[in-house]
Chains A and B, each alone.
Chain A
Amino acid sequence: MKDVQEVIQGLMQELRRGTIIIGVLSQLSEPQYGYSLVSVLEEKGISIDPGTLYPLLRRLEKQELLESKWDTNEARPRKYYLLSPFGKEVYEQLCIEWKNMIASVESLIDHPGG
Chain B
Amino acid sequence: MEQVNRYIYVVTQKLPKQQRADIERELRGLIEDMIEERVMGGEEDESAAEQVLIELGNPHDLAAKYRSEPRYLISPLLFDTYLSVLKIILICIVLIQIFVFGISFILDPTHVQEQFNHLIRALIFVPVQGFAWTTLTFAFLDYAMRKEKKAGIAGKSGWHPAKLPPIPDAKWEIKQSESVLGIMFTIFFLVLFTFSPHLIGATVFSEGNLKNVIPFFNLEVFREYLPFIWILGLLGLFKDTVRWVKKSWTNSVFLTHILFTIISGLFGVFMFANPELYNAEFMNELVVYGMVEAGSEKLDTLAKIWSLAIEWIVYLIGASTLIEGIQSGVKWIRFRRSHGSKIV
Residues of A within 8 A of B (CB): 33-35, 49-52, 54-56, 58-59, 62, 70, 76-79
Residues from chain B with Cβ under 8 Å of A62 in the complex: 68
Residues from chain B with Cβ under 8 Å of A52 in the complex: 65
Say yes or no for B156: interface residue by CB 8 A criterion. no
Contact present for B65 and A55 (CB under 8 Å): yes
Q: Mark B117-157, 1 if CB is under 8 A from A, else 0.
A: 00000000000000000000000000000000000000000
Residues from chain B with Cβ under 8 Å of A49 in the complex: 57
A54 to B63, CA, bound (A): 11
Sample of 20 A–B contacts (CB below 8 Å): A34-B29, A35-B29, A35-B30, A35-B33, A49-B57, A50-B56, A51-B56, A51-B61, A51-B62, A52-B65, A54-B30, A54-B66, A55-B66, A56-B65, A58-B19, A62-B68, A70-B25, A76-B32, A76-B33, A78-B29
Residues from chain B with Cβ under 8 Å of A51 in the complex: 56-57, 61-62, 65
A58 to B57, CA, bound (A): 19
Contact present for B25 and A77 (CB under 8 Å): yes
Say yes or no for B34: interface residue by CB 8 A criterion. yes
Residues from chain B with Cβ under 8 Å of A55 in the complex: 62, 65-66
Say yes or no for B207: interface residue by CB 8 A criterion. no
A55 to B22, CA, bound (A): 12
Q: A50-B34, A50-B56, A51-B57 are in contact. Are A59 and B68 (CB under 8 A)?
A: yes
Q: A50-B56, A51-B57, A62-B68 are in contact. Are A34 and B26 (CB under 8 A)?
A: yes
Interchain nearest-CB distance for A110 vs B (Å): 37
Contact present for B29 and A79 (CB under 8 Å): yes
Contact present for B32 and A54 (CB under 8 Å): no
Q: Which of B42-99 contact A (CB under 8 A)?
A: 56-57, 61-62, 65-66, 68
Contact present for A58 and B61 (CB under 8 Å): no
Residues from chain B with Cβ under 8 Å of A54 in the complex: 26-27, 30, 66
A33 to B28, CA, bound (A): 13
Minimal Cβ-Cβ distance residue in B for A39 = B37
Residues from chain A with Cβ under 8 Å of B30 in the complex: 34-35, 50, 54
Interchain nearest-CB distance for A12 vs B (Å): 19
Residues from chain A with Cβ under 8 Å of B25 in the complex: 70, 77, 79
